[in-house]
Copies of this chain bind each other. A is one copy, B any other.
Amino acid sequence: MGAIEFIEGGVTAPAGFRAAGVHAGFRANPNRKDAALVVSDVEGTAAAGTFTCNVFCAAPVKLSRSVAQGGRARAVILNSGNANAATGKPGDQVARESQALTAAALGIDPAEVFVASTGVIGVQLPLEPYRSGLPLLLGALDSSPQAAADAAQAIMTTDTVPKECAVRFEADGTAYRIGGMSKGSGMIMPNMATMLAVLTTDAAVEPAALKTALKAAVDASFNKITVDSDTSTNDSCFCLANGAAGGPVLQPGTPAFETFCLALRQLCEALARKMAADGEGATKLVTVTVSGAASEEDADKAARTVANSPLVKTAIAGHDCNWGRIAAALGRSGASFRQEDVDIDIMGMPVMRGGLPCGFDEDEALRRFEEPEITIDAALGAGEHSTRMWTCDFTHDYITINGDYRT
């Protein structure tokens, strides 16, 4: 089985995919791209999706869920600037019409078009930008890296950088690629914005297997950038598999399928890390690893509580090697363990052994906190389960972005 390697590019890296990103008019600023389209050129492209479980889910989420149930899709139409959430029946109607307009422009079945929106909520989404923007998108549709980059840029809201990735792997003599783009600023559910991701692959995978692979990859990546990220009103992750690489259908249970799953997971992890690192006001990416937990659930609870703790996150912003706040978060997480069995390392330095603080070199700690990624490792000594979560630090800029007097 060939190695999995990261390559340049995004959603157009796999064969048989085109993308575009343009200004269609969802935003007032004409210099800001606000509409993206991703298209598979292959009929019968397999599709899967994962969606927010927020009760206040947006109109496009409801519609795209039904597309995912069909297991086939050829296109994803996305806009930024307006989330089409808390918009009632008129919002549902707009979502359906935007789906129909996109399908008509591409000459495909509306049931094969995913729809996604991100931006302000509680404001009706206009249809006009679809009417004027779809011809622009069709004109720009291209399989180039630039076209993928334009699409990644068009879905940004409070993101400070576009986020795209691609990987390449070989299986049974065929070379496959998976590409992806995403937006969202991680755990902090910025400004009612959303996590959106579009993943493309030229591997041939049946819809049911694709759904399984996507769910596993999302659970280990986007769903590990703390609790808020998977629960906004619009969160959606779409995956299209068109088989254009020419290999056989990858069957669950085979080494080739396992390699595909691993490659998909690594791609999603890379995108998830980019999102956590781009959290609102963030200066650090924070990776929290919990091992020695009594169960998978305990590992998740413990890592999630540490990663969500405002006290831990403010300490990191202040370059404070504060083991006490980490211990307190573990202790209140609900995970089962004994305090005398706990070891904690920060940036590879032992700070707690057997539940007691151990002396460490404060100057060395300050030096290590200069790194862009901060690692926290906690071993609970209660079992064999482990997990990893990603978050960011918590700074004055977060308060400024989210709390300063409205203008």
A residues with CB within 8 A of B: 53-57, 86-88, 121-122, 188-189, 191-192, 227-228, 231-233, 310-311, 313-315, 317-320, 323-325, 327-328, 330-332, 335, 337-340, 342, 352, 355-357, 393-396, 398-400, 402-406
A191 and B320 CA atoms in complex are apart in Å by 12
**A328 and B189 in contact (CB under 8 A), knowing A311-B402, A355-B56?**
yes
A and B contact pairs by CB, cutoff 8 A, 17 listed: A55-B335, A56-B355, A86-B339, A86-B355, A88-B340, A122-B356, A227-B332, A228-B332, A231-B332, A315-B402, A315-B403, A317-B399, A318-B403, A318-B405, A320-B405, A396-B403, A399-B399
The residues of B that contact A325 with a CB separation of less than 8 Å are 192
Contact B121 A324 (CB under 8 A): yes
Contacts of A394 in B (CB 8 A): 399, 403
Q: Which B residues are in CB contact (< 8 Å) with A337? A: 55
Complex contact A319–B396 (CB within 8 A): no
A192 in contact with B324 given A54-B331, A86-B355, A399-B396 (CB within 8 Å): yes
Smallest CB gap from A87: residue in B: B356
Closest Cβ neighbor of A396 among chain B residues:
B399
A267 to chain B, nearest CB (A): 26
Chain B, Cβ-Cβ closest to A399: B396
Question: Cβ of A327 and Cβ of B403 under 8 Å apart?
Answer: no
Residues of chain B contacted by A331 (CB below 8 angstroms): 54-57, 231, 233
Beta-carbon nearest neighbor of A190 in chain B: B311
* A55→B330 contact, CB < 8 A: yes
Residues in B whose Cβ lies below 8 Å from that of A318: 402-406
**B56, A403: Cβ atoms under 8 Å?**
no
If A319-B405, A406-B319, A406-B320 touch, whether A56 touches B327 (CB-CB below 8 Å) is yes
Cβ of A143 to closest chain B Cβ, rounded Å: 37
From residue A193, how far is it (CB to closest CB) to chain B in Å?
10
- Tell me which of A233, A314, A328 has the highest count of chain B C-beta atoms within 10 A of its own C-beta: A328
Q: Which B residues are in CB contact (< 8 Å) with A339?
A: 55-57, 86
- Closest approach, in angstroms, between the C-beta of A353 and any C-beta of chain B? 11
The residue on B at minimum CB distance from A227 is B332
Which residues does chain B contribute within 8 Å of A315, judged by CB atoms? 402-403
Interface centre among A55, A188, A315, A342 (most CB of B within 10 A): A55
A232 nearest CB neighbor, chain B only:
B328
Closest to A55 in B: B331
- A85's nearest neighbour on chain B, judged by CB, is B324
